[in-house]
Structure 1
């Protein structure tokens, strides 16, 4: 498996911290990013403490978002949708693989639902690609619970990571990184525009989790190679 240097933008939030932990647990170097480095450093120390005793774990450090991206091979966007476009515009993403797990969601008295992006013809991942055209954006890791990511199991091997994107090379990186989470390759789910369906699907899982008091995920059946 290739070892990557991964910047996690939004690394102080539960999803970013959990994915950073999983990547580092399986040998990748991780830099957790935040708007202010002083917020990222203690979270990185928390993850490092959690990794004590894990053989061949990668190093985890904290930095500002911009500094985290500087030397990264892969940039993971794990930020709230509010302010997403403005933040992405500040990041040095040219030439990098960018993985978006951003879910544009809203909540009202009837529960969670997907927000409409660009009149239904866009998604957070597509917005990131438009803002950073010299990067290669893929959508992945939308449906993995932050609670299970931070849990005690070596792998979340009853779940699948769905990956969408227009760059085969960038998708291959995300598909490989899925092994750090589920123990097997992610699933190629098609073109980047399918993020329009993958992102709001998270609202369905939140609704299921509330009903059944669970941390449900997605598993794809019927694939002979999986």
Structure 2
């Protein structure tokens, strides 16, 4: 069931965006901050993250009720946050998550993965097969950080749309995970992107479907020269 964000008061979160200097991470961070959440963009190099945070802050000038944006190293960003968003390329994903989890930094955190294991060849984009079809980036993150609560969300949202001037994007955010509480955090944050709460799409293993589906949207976007998203119909009656 989708719910208009105005129908209930959504908690204010502090979100560490790991991969916050990339288009997807910076765009999601901007959306969260635009609608009242505080963000810490993380990077291996704090200076690089600070530059991206300054860009977000500039975009937020004059936006009533906007949250704060700053940059930091990955470790410092996580330490300052309630929620961690993984918005990094799949290449090197496992090594990065393992390093972040090694010292317990992710323990007790809600970790939202929007990582898409994609590959490209002369026929276009396609999903990589993870663990012989029995895994996903989100599931790998949960295995590598067992003391965190990992959910999958925001896989199919266009980075171009996120950085646009539109107040909200005309699409839905599907959230998957094995924790009701963890999914609720991502469902809440989805309202910053679409103006309505995200949709509970089921268990974490269904990230195996959501992650490679991004390749279909890339194909549609190239064919029609748009920035397509996903809308789920039939929920308004529930």
| TM-score using structure 2 length | 0.93
- CA–CA separation in structure 2 for the residues paired with 1:184 and 1:96: 24
Give the one of 88, 99, 107 matched to 1:90. 99
User: What does residue 122 of structure 1 align with?
Assistant: 135
- CA–CA separation in structure 2 for the residues paired with 1:177 and 1:8: 13
- CA–CA separation in structure 2 for the residues paired with 1:185 and 1:9: 23
Q: How many residues align?
A: 225
Contact kept? 1:66, 1:90, Cα under 8 Å: no
User: What does residue 213 of structure 1 align with?
Assistant: 225
User: What does residue 199 of structure 1 align with?
Assistant: 211
Q: Deviations over 1:107-136 (max 9, x none)?
A: 000100000001110000000000000100
**How far apart are 1:225 and its partner, in Å?**
5.2
User: What does residue 150 of structure 1 align with?
Assistant: 163
CA RMSD of aligned residues (A): 0.8
**Consecutive aligned runs of 4 or more in structure 1 exceeding 4 Å deviation:** none
User: What does residue 63 of structure 1 align with?
Assistant: 72
Give the one of 54, 58, 74 matched to 2:83. 74
**How far apart are 1:209 and its partner, in Å?**
0.2
- CA–CA separation in structure 1 for the residues paired with 2:51 and 2:235: 42
- CA–CA separation in structure 1 for the residues paired with 2:184 and 2:56: 26
Greater relative contact order (Cα 8 A, min sep 6): structure 1 or 2?
Answer: 2
Instruction: Give the alignment of 1:1-226 within 5 angstroms.
Output: 1-91=10-100, 92-156=105-169, 158-224=170-236
Structure 2 unmatched ranges of 5 or more = 1-9
Q: Secondary structure at the match of 1:90?
A: helix
- CA–CA separation in structure 2 for the residues paired with 1:96 and 1:32: 16
**How far apart are 1:66 and its partner, in Å?**
1.0
User: What does residue 3 of structure 2 align with?
Assistant: none
User: What does residue 6 of structure 2 align with?
Assistant: none
Contact kept? 1:105, 1:112, Cα under 8 Å: yes
- CA–CA separation in structure 1 for the residues paired with 2:135 and 2:76: 29
- CA–CA separation in structure 2 for the residues paired with 1:102 and 1:142: 7
**How far apart are 1:224 and its partner, in Å?**
2.8
**How far apart are 1:89 and its partner, in Å?**
1.2
- CA–CA separation in structure 2 for the residues paired with 1:175 and 1:95: 18
